[in-house]
């Protein structure tokens, strides 16, 4: 199978030792989107109109955008103009509501957040890419995946869900087994690290031990709940967990 940019991007993130390489990928996609938005799109009329339609970005991405923009005055001005237009639209909607006695008001719909939409569509491409590489038994990628630190639980479930959508019955079970084995190995690794610190809880930690424990705790939290800002609604989460149980049986 010919290698492409997506392959090399995944390879780089795995080799960098990310606790969940798909979390690292999401972080990178987010960062690049924000950089592009602030440098090119923030003063673009169409981009501004889209932001007003969705009442800006979701909570998570709005604060990330503000934080990034605060480092550059021109970007902050652009964000200020967009926020001003959103507030104007909200005022108009409130006035319309008063006149017509309607209950409707502009809603901040996180599913309409431009960055969320872009991130979701981008990640879907990478899920399919990983599944195709695993199903095709690409030797280089299989070796790479086995040596990775696995995935956080939400991305682990999402990858199994993406695999479920593929009609590769002849090799699906083997791929599921591989994904589960890699995840189990890395959960055991984290468990061993935590056990070592727990057993020594009656002793005074050195500064080095304290820093190592904090790092392990952060990586363990990420493994369980994914990176900060990852969202799964209750219906989706329940469906994916159900799929996880049936997939690994």
User: How many whole angstroms separate alpha carbon 15 and alpha carbon 87?
Assistant: 45
Over residues 76-89, the pLDDT tens digits come to 777 777 777 777 77
How far from 241 is each of 34, 59, 155, 188, 220, CA to CA, in Å? Answer: 31, 26, 11, 21, 19
The arithmetic mean of pLDDT across residues 35-52, rounded, is 69
Find tokens 């103009």 and name the residue: 81
pLDDT band at 234 (very low <50, low <70, confident <90, very high): very low
**Cα 193 to the chain's mean position, in Å?**
25
Surface-to-core class of residue 95, CB atoms within 10 Å of its CB (0-12 exposed, 13-18 middle, 19+ buried): exposed
The arithmetic mean of pLDDT across residues 17-27, rounded, is 93
User: How many whole angstroms separate alpha carbon 145 and alpha carbon 20?
Assistant: 11
By the 8 A CB rule, do 112 and 54 touch?
yes
Over residues 181-222, the pLDDT tens digits come to 999 999 999 888 887 766 666 556 566 666 666 677 666 666
**Cα 101 to the chain's mean position, in Å?**
41
H or E segment and range at residue 159: helix 153-164
Indicate the pTM of the whole model.
0.73
Angle of CA points 109, 111, 117, to nearest 5°? 135
User: How large is the C-alpha radius of gyration of the chain?
Assistant: 22
By the 8 A CB rule, do 48 and 82 touch?
yes
Helix (H, G, I), strand (E, B) or coil at 205: coil
pLDDT band at 109 (very low <50, low <70, confident <90, very high): very low
Helix (H, G, I), strand (E, B) or coil at 210: helix
User: How many whole angstroms separate alpha carbon 166 and alpha carbon 15?
Assistant: 27
């Amino acid at each position: 199978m010919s290698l492409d940019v997506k392959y090399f991007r995944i390879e780089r993130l795995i080799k960098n030792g990310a606790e969940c390489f798909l979390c690292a990928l999401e972080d990178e996609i987010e960062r690049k989107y924000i950089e592009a938005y602030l440098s090119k799109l923030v003063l673009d009329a169409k981009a501004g109109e889209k932001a007003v339609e969705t009442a800006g970005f979701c909570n998570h991405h709005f604060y990330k955008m503000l934080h990034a923009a605060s480092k550059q005055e021109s970007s902050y001005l652009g964000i200020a103009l967009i926020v001003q237009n959103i507030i104007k639209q909200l005022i108009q909607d409130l006035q319309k509501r008063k006149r017509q006695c309607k209950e409707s008001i502009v809603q901040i719909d996180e599913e309409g957040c431009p960055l969320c939409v872009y991130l979701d569509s981008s990640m879907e491409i990478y899920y399919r890419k990983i599944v195709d590489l695993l199903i095709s038994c690409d030797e280089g990628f299989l070796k790479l995946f086995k040596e990775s630190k696995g995935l956080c639980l939400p991305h682990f479930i999402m990858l199994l869900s993406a695999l479920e959508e593929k009609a590769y019955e002849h090799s699906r079970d083997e791929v599921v087994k591989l994904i589960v084995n890699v995840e189990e190995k890395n959960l055991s690794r984290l468990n061993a690290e935590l056990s070592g610190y727990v057993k020594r809880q009656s002793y005074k930690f050195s500064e080095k031990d304290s820093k190592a424990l904090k790092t392990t705790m952060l990586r363990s939290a990420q493994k369980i709940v994914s990176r900060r800002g990852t969202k799964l609604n209750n219906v989706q989460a329940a469906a994916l967990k159900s799929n996880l149980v049936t997939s690994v049986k």
